[in-house]
Amino acid sequence: MKRLIFWCIPLMGLLTGCDQPSGSAGNNASAEGGAQAAVYKFKDNAAGLSEYWYEGKAEINRYELQQNRYQGVHPGEAIAIFVTEDFLTDEQVKNDTYSNPNSTPVLKTNLLRKFPTGIYDYSIMTSVFTPTEVQQIPQTLKVTTTAQDWCGHAFMQLNFREQQYEMQLNSYFEKEGDQEEAVNYAVLEDELFNRIRIDPKGLPTGQVEIIPSTAIIRMKHLPFRAYRAEAQLADYEGSTFTGDQLMAYTLTYPELDRELKIVFKYEPPYIIEGWEDTYPSAFDQQPRTTVAKRTHTIKSAYWEQNRPEQIDLRQKLGMEVFPGAEQVKADNR
């Protein structure tokens, strides 16, 4: 049965590579009207999280990945970990000691992507911290992204303070080096997985000024600013993803010649089935598509499962079990 069609916005990306940046980040504030509409939509559509998220476990998803990079598409895998925790709003770190009263519950995404480009490897991770009590704090408070390959590595962090996103960049590229920038509040592409998981009806509608994912900013060496985007939320009608009651966000950035589609189940807990992200490749500027397809999902208190013999749990996620694992298990019995 068809559902109502809404106009909305989405998310995605990440990388830094050996191609040289075309320029340093710039400071361009987002349009005030679009930004304000977005944050109030988050605030006014807060269904709250169910008990699914408060069982003392994380939800771990494994995706088969085909990653657009350089002048080709490369095989790999992505792991998306969703978990609730308490977060200090002033220091913007996890609340470990509960001695600071400035704390709020957040939904955290840890998204890891690993893939080779020819002989050498990429390893990329993005963490996103989105308050779940959105009537009190409707903005995502923090995003961090790290990217490593055989050429070097880079680190990027966003913090929401005083109605701005402050950006810190540490890069091995001469033209980028170490930077600090700030732009006025705008929707973060990085936060939209969390927004879907909390309540997809809370996504902003119409044209919205949005800061692209920190991954795409790194990979494309884009100026740090908001870009105008259009998105449609509708029943998923493609063939890449299978399942019942699938919805898709299709987001178009005209200025970036980029289209992003996020596919998810339209019933709580709104599991992310995968994404497609089409944009010009770095070396030849030909459009190619990154595709990530969910293969496994488990709930686990993974932080307690770190003994050598527990490496078998990786198989439940379809993940690589490294050579020598059986001997290590035997040696630790």
* pLDDT tens figures, 7-63: 333 333 333 346 555 443 333 434 445 666 677 777 776 667 889 999 999 999 999
Q: Which residue has the higher pLDDT, 28 or 163?
A: 163
pLDDT at 17: 45
Would you place residue 250 in the very low, low, confident or very high pLDDT band (cuts 50, 70, 90)?
A: confident
pLDDT at 330: 66
Give yes or no for residue 245 having a pLDDT over 80.
yes
Give yes or no for residue 226 having a pLDDT over 90.
yes
Torsion of CA 61, 67, 69, 73, to 10 degrees: 170
Mean pLDDT score of the chain: 87
Give yes or no for residue 281 having a pLDDT over 80.
yes
Q: Quick one: tokens of 152?
A: 């070097």
Strands 103-117 and 120-131: antiparallel
For residue 113, what are the CA distances in angstroms to 24, 81, 135, 147, 315? 25, 12, 32, 9, 18
Would you place residue 271 in the very low, low, confident or very high pLDDT band (cuts 50, 70, 90)?
A: very high
Spatial CB neighbours of 84, under 8 Å, sequence gap ≥ 6: 49, 53, 54, 105, 106, 107, 108, 132
Give yes or no for residue 214 having a pLDDT over 70.
yes
Considering only CA atoms, which of 12, 4, 3 is closest in space to residue 250? 12
Average pLDDT estimate for 274-297: 96
pLDDT at 29: 38
Average pLDDT estimate for 189-210: 88
pLDDT at 22: 45
pLDDT at 321: 79
Q: Which amino acid is at 262?
A: I
pLDDT at 7: 37
Average pLDDT estimate for 96-100: 96
Q: Which amino acid is at 74?
A: H
Query: Which has the minimum average pLDDT: 7-16, 65-74, 91-100?
Result: 7-16
pLDDT at 9: 34
pLDDT at 35: 66
What is the maximum span of the chain, computed from C-alpha positions, in angstroms? Answer: 62
CB atoms near residue 36 (< 10 Å):
13
Query: Which has the minimum average pLDDT: 98-107, 177-186, 302-311, 314-323?
Result: 314-323
Give the residue ranges of DSSP H helices in the chain: 32-44, 192-198, 214-220, 313-316, 325-331
Would you place residue 208 in the very low, low, confident or very high pLDDT band (cuts 50, 70, 90)?
A: confident
pLDDT at 13: 38
Average pLDDT estimate for 219-241: 91
How many residues in total does the chain contain?
333
Would you place residue 317 in the very low, low, confident or very high pLDDT band (cuts 50, 70, 90)?
A: very high
